[in-house]
Amino acid sequence: MLIVMSQDATAAQIDAVKARVAQLGFQARPMPGEQRVAIGIVGNDGPVDAAHFEGMPGVLQAIHVASPYKLVSREWHREDTIVHLPNGVTIGGPEICVMAGPCAVESRDQLLETAESVARAGAVVLRGGAFKPRSNPYSFQGLGEPALELLAEARDHFGLALITEAIDEPSLDLVEQYTDIIQLGARSMQNFPLLKRAGRARKPVLLKRGLAATIREWLLAAEYILAEGNSQVILCERGIRSYDDATRNMLDVIAIPLVKQLSHLPVIADPSHGTGRRHLVGAASRAAIAADADGLLIEVHRQPDQAMSDGAQSLFPGQFVELMSEVRSVAAAIGRTVQAPAVVAR
């Protein structure tokens, strides 16, 4: 940490900062300049809280030099983390992993039909919501545990793995029993008690980026999970809030290579939420793969115009077949492959 003093800070104010540094157990390294003094802090193994200094008289600002996260940082863990799923699928290795399915489970028929179509097209993980966080209290909120049973049935039937969302501790307890990946949504990214609970789960966790989360906050949220002992974490860029309502969210495609440089965790993209419009999902998927995403999370519905949620961004099954073909081409262009579909029964 670097403490920058005001141009007119007094010697006594500078001494007070130095004393505070010493009191916290670190060493102060003053750096006098032409215009002002700055004081470096050394001897700290982890980050120092800026709050200790920002309120002191004569202090202009306190600047973090080291990154505040450690377990998720590539500086301390060079090798890519690879997440392994029961059906043999991996996330974070050389192969790209495509997850697909409906926004929400609505009925057994709807789910099985959609699951079959995405499995046949090449998806290796089935997505589908049983617990839905909705902005509007009067919107459809998911079918709960019966949906989990249907998801497990569809997963087993088509040789897929399963990802589904938990929205609080009771739903996480349930989801953990049925799923292969526990999804934490954008609105839960800074639900710290839930992050800690996910850190004690024995299943991989997919952590979506918050609606207006910085990269730093996102990685700190992942750090919560790793700090509790669960290192099987997948990050998912799903679009952030922007000033323009031309799309539902703004997919921050460049966050993907940036986070992969900062962290060893796998990073995937959700082009469905990231754009909110079906006719942009294909281009967004290609862009994410070209930017080194380790996978995709795609909403597909057998009849999007009858969907109980997110109809506007769900693909028709035929569109998903086309998307898979495009994704395979782009993956090949950057020297990667898309994981082979599981054997489809039924």
321 contacts a second copy (rule: CB under 8 A): no
For residue 329, the tally of other CB atoms under 10 A from its CB is: 12
CB of 46 to a second copy, least distance (A): 6
CB of 13 to a second copy, least distance (A): 11
Task: Check if the beta carbon of residue 162 is closer than 8 Å to that of residue 155.
Answer: yes
32 contacts a second copy (rule: CB under 8 A): yes
Among 12, 25, 79, 135, binds a second copy (CB under 8 A): 135
Task: List binders of a second copy among 78-117 (CB under 8 A).
Answer: none
343 contacts a second copy (rule: CB under 8 A): no
Task: Report the residue number, 236 or 342, with the smaller CB distance to a second copy.
Answer: 236
Task: Report the residue number, 89 or 205, with the smaller CB distance to a second copy.
Answer: 205
User: What is the signed CA dihedral for 312, 179, 204, 191, rounded to 10 degrees?
Assistant: 60
Q: Residue 109, SS3?
A: helix
Task: List binders of a second copy among 147-176 (CB under 8 A).
Answer: 167-171
CB of 346 to a second copy, least distance (A): 27
Dist CA 55 CA 42 (whole Å)? 20
Among 18, 40, 153, 157, binds a second copy (CB under 8 A): 40
297 contacts a second copy (rule: CB under 8 A): no
22 contacts a second copy (rule: CB under 8 A): no
Segment interacting with a second copy (CB under 8 A) among 39-47, 90-98, 112-120, 149-157:
39-47
On the 0-12 / 13-18 / 19+ scale of CB atoms within 10 A, 47 is middle
- Residues 6 or more apart whose CB falls under 8 angstroms from that of 201 comprise 172, 176, 182, 230
Among 15, 49, 109, 173, binds a second copy (CB under 8 A): 49
User: How many CA atoms, within 13 angstroms, populate the side-chain half-sphere of residue 51?
Assistant: 1
Which neighbouring-strand residues pair with 4?
A: 38, 61
Segment interacting with a second copy (CB under 8 A) among 86-94, 149-157, 215-223, 336-344:
215-223
Phi and psi for 27 in degrees, rounded to 5? -110, 140
188 contacts a second copy (rule: CB under 8 A): yes
CB of 79 to a second copy, least distance (A): 15
Task: Report the residue number, 105 or 342, with the smaller CB distance to a second copy.
Answer: 105
Dist CA 272 CA 315 (whole Å)? 9
Task: Report the residue number, 2 or 344, with the smaller CB distance to a second copy.
Answer: 2
287 contacts a second copy (rule: CB under 8 A): yes
- Residues 6 or more apart whose CB falls under 8 angstroms from that of 226 comprise 71, 72, 199, 233
Q: What are the Cα distances from residue 274, in Å, to 158, 169, 207, 211, 333? A: 27, 26, 15, 10, 23
CB of 249 to a second copy, least distance (A): 9
345 contacts a second copy (rule: CB under 8 A): no
263: left (phi > 0), else alpha (psi -120 to 50), else beta? beta
> 63-97: buried (b, 16+ CB within 10 Å) or exposed (e) per residue?
eeeeeebbbbbbeebeeebebebebebbbbbebbb
Segment interacting with a second copy (CB under 8 A) among 80-88, 106-114, 144-152, 284-292:
284-292
Task: List binders of a second copy among 217-276 (CB under 8 A).
Answer: 217, 220-221, 223-224, 227, 240-247, 250-258, 261, 274-275
CB of 245 to a second copy, least distance (A): 7
51 contacts a second copy (rule: CB under 8 A): yes
